[in-house]
Structure 1
């Protein structure tokens, strides 16, 4: 019936399905197109869940969005092409069939079926706009300025010794022209550190250009990095690349391990000689650019798996900073909780004072695979349903509540004991369970718990745990 409503519909297959509720919150998102699967890991798609649609796709205006209009009008919408970018800067041009979910006359949400029709020309034309969205500016990309760099070292919330050492190290190397590699798990604050380094350096009033290496295909990325001359390929125009635009300032290449080996070899020449040559040109151009790169995996692992060339790794990591995952900086959890409570009390006009003791204990024993970003989303989600008072277990996401069910908690009287005592009891219980699951194999149990084998051996002795 819906298909008959649109006589000119031309979607012979779909490679994306998106479902939102009536507030625009994404409840399901999946893409089958290899263009996205190659570079976008499953973890990134999980980041979409529970985000507002316009937050996940900041390059899309509400009045242009088929999803938002479908929710507003409660009627199916077919659009032949919709060009936009996601929060990682990936460019899309899609054909969409958007269908409202209606029950008893009330719009409960919407389902969007989409077909990726993105062409190289679409990506090239959208690039300047995408970069402006990411920078928080509008207009020509070459007019970006310091206003797009909002973080400084004062924004890094920590009392962890290793992280404090990282901050001091970053300050010392901020004015060096040498390349820096910042690495750590997803959500540990890599761009926060990178922007802080730029803001602390003498280049602070010069351009800061950020590009996610996973966001663009290789055949476009080369022209984006190095520029092009008219006629060098179909649709090519005389255009500066990112190195020329960043001249005198900082170029931040995020997820550098997603860049193709072929393009890494070309990047190496620029890093070594300080000159770029636009595609189709015979002229070399001298550039003065401080390159900072980032990756969300251990560099040695990236080299072994051939995600990054060994020669370019050593060139990019003249100086390196390893960020500590949240599970290894537990002393920062309450600091961050207080910060996010204050932030979202202001944004959401709430009066939430604190988290409950039970939630606090869970936060200390949970492993936080999404790190600080995950903690932020948990607090934000809870504060959307709590107006004042205390965040309780019932306010947390379902997956965290299920985690809590597998952890031993004291009763109300016992939970008033010192927090460290409570944590030790829970930690011992988790170690025993891991050892049982591993059949007494300490190495396997350490992997289950995501801690070093030596650390587990120490804790086994500390808690006097017998291995059967």
Structure 2
């Protein structure tokens, strides 16, 4: 439940807002003075404070300044309300940290929309703070390969600037983590980081998601603040920007030129200060040649290009990544520290990893879940896809005999698994004498506890 504090000296406003917000599912408290509000804020955390500018004992803007000095972890979003508001007052309140400004008499619909958006902003701020507590660019970009070291160095150099970044890389290489690492190392690290996946949002909705909607729009959607507006003073990450329609690309281009845009159905342009990071798994220059991507937008996004290498080009990072995933999933599932055998690691090295780091992470999680009693990942624990791929591609085999041994070993392990570690039964399935199978197992380094 989200908690709201109403600070207003007019009893009828407090009572009506309390009743309405409780019906909407909020936890609500109220205070008629700044002094009482201060006590309530010190006693319990609130997500949002609805704060009147005219209070009997204090100026509401002074109270706003005090709230804004609270630690980020406990600081609520503040929505100012006033019956005597002016543009100058609204601008001053925003500069002092107010989330938004509402004029009396309050519009119920607008109040609920602004409140909902403020709660969402508070949630995102909390998530960003938690992410930063756990975040370290060196641990996220795990590995010591030459391409990864160069990528980390590039992040340290470019993150403190406001230059736009375009991240190239296949699906699953960690483009979002690169974007987050740039934000975490930037001068905007204490502001919001928002992501918009251009490939996941239907074309009919992406403009509304990006630029927002105002009353009077023909979309039939309720009024909302767009991602670009909510990312003001922070970082906006446009994931898979190559999937944007040409119409949306034109609007993004216009917004980039002067950091101004008009919401869908709106008449007044909004100005924002947003650092833009984009990513793509497509060859945008090829898309330009096909007429699918605007060349002028490409040059505005491609100020600082980052290229994330696929996992198959930095296989020396597989071991460190696997150990990090084992530690992470071990903590997540309450399991003791798990190791991986050299043989299992060799199989992982032989695989091509078309799904990159994401696929490796999924494989490790699957192995850990399906083998709750194992303290070490062995070759037999790895999923069949990995075995087949390593044998099929032939990567890493220096001779035909080595490839035969690998195939034979995988096949025997599969039959032993089918026989539930009963070697006699496995020998029957293989059409071998039990003693012959034992000799094979010894030669191939297979150890089974029956």
Instruction: Tell me if both proteins adopt one fold, taking TM over 0.5 as the criterion.
Output: yes
CA deviation string 1:399-447 (max 9, x = no partner) = 22322444779xxxxxxxxxxxx655589979xxxxxxxxxxxxxxxxx
Separation in 2 of the partners of 1:354 and 1:406?
A: 27
SS across alignment from 1:383: helix
Q: Shift of the alpha carbon at 1:164?
A: 1.3
1:389-400 equivalences under 5 Å are 389-400=375-386
- The question of 1:330 aligning with 2:315 is answered yes
Q: Contact between 1:356 and 1:390, CA under 8 Å: does it hold in 2? A: yes
Aligned with 1:267 (options 244, 252, 257): 252
- The question of 1:296 aligning with 2:281 is answered yes
1:101-140 equivalences under 5 Å are 139-140=119-120
Separation in 2 of the partners of 1:429 and 1:305?
A: 43
1:225-374 equivalences under 5 Å are 225-351=210-336, 353-374=338-359
SS across alignment from 2:171: coil
Q: Shift of the alpha carbon at 1:234?
A: 4.2
- TM-score, normalized by length of structure 1? 0.56
Shift of the 408–246 alpha-carbon distance from structure 1 to 2, 3 Å rule, reads closer
Q: Contact between 1:180 and 1:293, CA under 8 Å: does it hold in 2? A: yes
Q: Shift of the alpha carbon at 1:331?
A: 1.1
Decide which structure has greater helix share: 2
Structure exhibiting the larger radius of gyration computed from Cα positions = 2
Q: Contact between 2:167 and 2:305, CA under 8 Å: does it hold in 1? A: yes
1:52-71 equivalences under 5 Å are none
Shift of the 427–359 alpha-carbon distance from structure 1 to 2, 3 Å rule, reads farther
Q: Look up the match of 1:153.
A: 137
Q: Look up the match of 1:388.
A: 374
Separation in 1 of the partners of 2:399 and 2:154?
A: 37
- 342-351 vs 286-295, which moves further: 342-351
Q: CA RMSD in A?
A: 3.0
SS across alignment from 2:277: strand
1:39-50 equivalences under 5 Å are none
Q: Shift of the alpha carbon at 1:217?
A: 1.8
Q: Contact between 1:182 and 1:322, CA under 8 Å: does it hold in 2? A: yes
- 357-366 vs 140-149, which moves further: 140-149
Separation in 1 of the partners of 2:162 and 2:223?
A: 29
- 286-295 vs 350-359, which moves further: 350-359
- The question of 1:144 aligning with 2:124 is answered yes
CA deviation string 1:11-54 (max 9, x = no partner) = xxxxxxxxxxxxxxxxxxxxxxxxxxxxxxxxxxxxxxxxxxxx
Q: Contact between 1:228 and 1:278, CA under 8 Å: does it hold in 2? A: yes
Q: Shift of the alpha carbon at 1:367?
A: 0.8
SS across alignment from 2:215: coil
Q: Contact between 1:174 and 1:200, CA under 8 Å: does it hold in 2? A: yes
Q: Contact between 1:152 and 1:192, CA under 8 Å: does it hold in 2? A: no
How many residues matched? Answer: 286
Residue segments in structure 2 that go unaligned for 5+ positions in a row: 1-112, 405-450
Shift of the 427–289 alpha-carbon distance from structure 1 to 2, 3 Å rule, reads farther
Shift of the 281–210 alpha-carbon distance from structure 1 to 2, 3 Å rule, reads same
Separation in 1 of the partners of 2:244 and 2:312?
A: 29
Q: Look up the match of 1:441.
A: none
SS across alignment from 2:251: helix
Separation in 1 of the partners of 2:162 and 2:403?
A: 50
SS across alignment from 1:181: strand
Q: Contact between 2:128 and 2:192, CA under 8 Å: does it hold in 1? A: no
Separation in 2 of the partners of 1:142 and 1:303?
A: 39
Shift of the 353–228 alpha-carbon distance from structure 1 to 2, 3 Å rule, reads closer
Shift of the 377–207 alpha-carbon distance from structure 1 to 2, 3 Å rule, reads same
Separation in 2 of the partners of 1:357 and 1:338?
A: 12
Shift of the 236–341 alpha-carbon distance from structure 1 to 2, 3 Å rule, reads closer
CA deviation string 1:335-361 (max 9, x = no partner) = 111111222222233346432333222
- TM-score, normalized by length of structure 2? 0.58
Shift of the 300–399 alpha-carbon distance from structure 1 to 2, 3 Å rule, reads same
1:188-203 equivalences under 5 Å are 188-203=173-188
Q: Shift of the alpha carbon at 1:167?
A: 1.4
Q: Look up the match of 2:209.
A: 224
CA deviation string 1:260-286 (max 9, x = no partner) = 111101110001111011122232221
